[in-house]
């Protein structure tokens, strides 16, 4: 038997083992009960950078509020952000709506069936296109995410840095070979499920793995050392201030610019601190510069911490009472005075939610 023929035979055995295992052990997740490409797209987008248990209630509420591509395309952006609030990475929500509008205008409201066209939509990259094409349309398209990387590097004994192009290319090639054949959507989900449930980063359950006899890392004994990754960039630290500015039982909130960190999100009025600036000085300056308002006094209540992907925020929280002056925004793109119910309807960042917990509610 030639080397190529032996490799193809091995791939067939791996596929068969993965599909048998998946069909016997897969989790009952809500998006797996649907064949609607739109619902699958929503789930795949939410699952980027977010744990399954966190996604489930958001997924169900989002589909209840925006059940079709057309409804999502026609929705007010703030309502989309509000439904997304708490999931983080808000660019995903913005790109979902942009893509929905493009699908409505250019594709008669139907998601394209092929990966290449899917990748032309905002927010849909190589992984999401492969996942949608295979799961929703049974196309033999590959996917490579963190779980797949872990399974494939251990299975094939790939011990080079997974951030390098040769290794990335190799992983996509191996994933593409596995995707060829029956039920490519189930096969792709099987690899991801195996990485999530069995081939875990620490203490993998190798004896429960359907690929254990073929796994190079199991043979060598270095599964927990794979995949090899470039060391993460150290988090940079920055500090900011925010304030509860109150008028008639309502707080001032401002909307962040459409580009940059937390783009388009609503937050309490404030801003970043300058280098070596004391929070008590910074709150007066930030309010004056960004809103045009002045306050006589600012009572510092404490601070909250929040971690973004590569940045760590320390947010100093103040209560200032009624401000003076007229609002002249510089930086924020919009403002509102909102009460308790109004806060619940806005897309607020997690740091702002933490600040509100510290402050209580308007009128308290």
Return the exposure string of 141-152: e unless at least 16 CB atoms fall within 10 Å of the residue's CB, then b.
Answer: bbbbbebbbbbb
**In Å, how far are 50, 78, 132, 148 from 143, measured between CA atoms?**
17, 32, 10, 8
Nearest Cα to 229, choosing from 162, 168, 159? 162
* C-beta separation of 40 from 136 below 8 A: yes
Task: Dig out the tokens for 356 from the structure.
Answer: 């509100």
Helix axes 126-137, 37-46, angle to 10 degrees: 140
CA torsion, points 44, 66, 102, 55, in degrees to nearest 10? -20
DSSP letter string, 118-173? HTTSTT--HHHHHHHHHHHH--------HHHHHHHHHHHT--SBTTSHHHHHHHHH
H helices present in 207-349, as ranges:
216-220, 279-291, 340-345
Widest distance between CA atoms in the chain: 85
Q: Where are the beta strands (DSSP E) in the chain?
A: 236-247, 250-255, 266-268, 270-272, 299-307, 311-321, 334-338
Residue 323 CA to residue 327 CA, distance in Å, equals: 10
DSSP letter string, 24-43? HH----GGGG---HHHHHHH
Q: Which of 44, 141, 174, 246 is catalytic?
A: 44
Burial group, residue 111, by CB count within 10 angstroms (0-12, 13-18, 19+):
buried
Residue entry with tokens 């510089």: 330
Is 44 one of the catalytic residues?
A: yes
Beta bridge partners of 316: 241, 303
Residue 244 CA to residue 268 CA, distance in Å, equals: 7
Catalytic sites, residue numbers: 44
């Amino acid at each position: 038997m030639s080397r190529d023929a032996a490799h193809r035979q091995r791939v067939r055995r791996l596929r068969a083992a993965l599909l048998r295992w998946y069909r016997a052990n897969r989790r009952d997740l809500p998006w797996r009960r649907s064949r609607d490409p739109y619902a699958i797209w929503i789930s795949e987008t939410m699952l980027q950078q977010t744990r399954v248990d966190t996604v489930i209630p958001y997924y169900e509420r989002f589909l209840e509020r925006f059940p079709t591509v057309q409804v999502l395309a026609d929705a007010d952006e703030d309502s989309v952000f509000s439904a997304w609030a708490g999931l983080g990475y808000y660019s995903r929500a913005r790109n979902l709506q942009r893509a929905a509008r493009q699908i409505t205008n250019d594709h008669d409201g139907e998601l394209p069936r092929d990966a290449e066209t899917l990748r032309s939509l905002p927010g849909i990259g190589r992984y999401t296109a492969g996942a949608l094409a295979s799961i929703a349309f049974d196309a033999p398209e590959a996917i490579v995410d963190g779980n797949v990387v872990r399974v494939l590097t251990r299975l094939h004994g790939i011990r080079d840095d997974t951030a390098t192009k040769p290794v990335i290319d190799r992983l996509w090639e191996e994933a593409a070979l596995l995707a060829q054949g029956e039920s490519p959507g189930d096969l792709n989900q099987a690899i991801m499920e195996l990485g999530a449930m069995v081939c875990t980063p620490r203490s993998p359950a190798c004896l429960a793995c359907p690929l254990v006899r073929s796994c190079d890392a199991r043979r060598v004994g270095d599964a927990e050392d794979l995949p090899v990754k470039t060391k993460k960039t150290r988090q940079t630290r920055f500090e900011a201030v925010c304030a509860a500015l109150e008028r008639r039982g309502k707080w001032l909130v401002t909307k962040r610019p459409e580009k940059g960190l937390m783009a388009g999100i609503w937050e309490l009025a404030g801003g970043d601190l300058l280098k070596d600036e004391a929070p008590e000085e910074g709150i007066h300056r930030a309010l004056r510069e960004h809103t045009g308002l002045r306050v006589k006094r600012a009572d510092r209540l404490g601070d909250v911490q929040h971690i973004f992907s590569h940045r760590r925020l320390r947010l100093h929280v103040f209560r200032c009472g009624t401000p003076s002056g007229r609002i002249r925004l510089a930086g924020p793109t919009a403002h509102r005075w909102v009460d308790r119910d109004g806060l619940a309807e806005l897309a607020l960042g997690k740091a702002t939610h933490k600040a509100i917990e510290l402050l209580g509610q308007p009128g308290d």
